[in-house]
Amino acid sequence: MSRIELHSVAKRWGDVTAVEPTDLVIRNGEFVAILGPSGCGKSTTLFMLAGIYTPTEGQILFDQAAVNDVEARDRNVGIVFQSYALYPHMTVRENIGFPLRFKRVSREEGRRRAEEAARLVQVQELMDRKPAQLSGGQQQRVALARALVKEPGLLLLDEPLSNLDASLRLVMRSEIRGLQRKLGVTTILVTHDQIEATTMADRVICMRRGRIEQIGTAEDLYHRPDSLFVAGFIGSPPINLFKGQASNGNVVVGEAILATSRDASGDVVLGIRPEAVRLGEGPFTGRVEDREPHGRETIYHLATPLGLLRALEPGAVARFSVGDLLPFAVSASLLFDAGTERRISGGALEVPH
């Protein structure tokens, strides 16, 4: 397994910077997700680790050894691409065993390792088929087996589940995570899907515009986002955001005056997650403008003095109807400086005495 270090690693194409100078350490055997929107630099970072791209500056180290000038095939890295990139003229057995052609492995040893990798991902019954005879999920498993057959020190997953339907994504998330725990291989997942990142990874690296916005557990990013961007990117349904003015421990948002952190002053943004809204009692009042039943939960759209507020309530049966006027409380909120977009504080909302 490998410990991965990036020291001031950057990637530029002419005047375009894809990844700003970045420092990062990924521990031996850790499962890390790089999360962010399209164009944030996550795939570029993965391709530099794979050896497909050469950093413009900085150093990449595997187990304290610099690999900037090491060819991709000599890095002992397994990679699963979004498109799977299987060879259509080869059988499953030949596709899985292909990376071993570049290693000094006997034919017998290569066959044994290919069959072992196939068993790990449960495609041992498909070894004589061609990719065109496989479903999307089966192709994904073959691509994963091909990445594992090298017994890599680092496994790279580039949006590996994006071509699968929702139910299969759920299954494969669990299977990939279980396989990583079993093998203990250092793994980096690149994704734009926050559910994939937060359910699969030990830590999540949230990127924006070529920079790392925050690194932490799923709980860190959800409850303690460092920035307005992270707060808005993590969470479903998305966080409610309201512009306001802070002074003397109070925040004015819309027609409401709220008691909050005394550290805040000037222009701020108040964030309230829909699941932090408690309907039926509390110091605030809102009118139900719309509701969205989701089976096991309901999302309400409330007209409030703050503005339009989304509230999520668990339960298969909706308790309130459109037009209902009801009290509510907010059990947790986040406050951000509007200029820097950095988090100032968090806590329950109250009406000032």
- pTM here? 0.90
6 φψ region: left (φ > 0), alpha (ψ -120 to 50), beta (else): beta
How does strand 77-80 pair with strand 65-66? unpaired
Is residue 261 over pLDDT 70? no
Cα–Cα distance between 33 and 231 in angstroms, integer?
17
pLDDT of residue 251: 87
pLDDT of residue 85: 84
Residue 281: CB atoms within 10 A of its CB come to 9
Is residue 343 over pLDDT 60? yes
pLDDT of residue 262: 61
pLDDT in tens, 73-115: 889 899 998 888 899 999 999 999 998 887 778 888 889 999 9
Question: Amino acid identity of 140?
Answer: Q
* 10 strand-pairing partners: 57
Residue 58 buriedness (CB in 10 A; 0-12 / 13-18 / 19+): middle
pLDDT of residue 191: 94
Question: Amino acid identity of 330?
Answer: V
Cα dist. 128→98, 109, 133, 150, 349 in Å? 14, 18, 10, 20, 62
DSSP E strand stretches across 44-180? 57-62, 65-66, 77-80, 154-158
Tell me the average pLDDT across 248-274.
83
* 117 strand-pairing partners: none
How does strand 325-330 pair with strand 256-259? unpaired
What percentage of the chain carries pLDDT values higher than 70? Answer: 97
What percentage of the chain carries pLDDT values higher than 90? Answer: 73
Assess contact for 211 and 17: CB atoms under 8 A: no
Q: What residues contact 309, with CB distance under 8 A and at least 6 apart?
A: 240, 272, 277, 286, 301, 302, 303
pLDDT in tens, 179-225: 999 999 999 999 999 999 999 999 999 999 999 999 999 999 999 99
Tell me the average pLDDT across 298-326.
94
* 79 strand-pairing partners: 156
Is residue 352 over pLDDT 70? no
Cα–Cα distance between 41 and 214 in angstroms, integer?
14
Is residue 353 over pLDDT 60? no
Place of tokens 């504080």: 345
Q: What is the mean pLDDT of the chain?
A: 91
Cα–Cα distance between 7 and 239 in angstroms, integer?
34
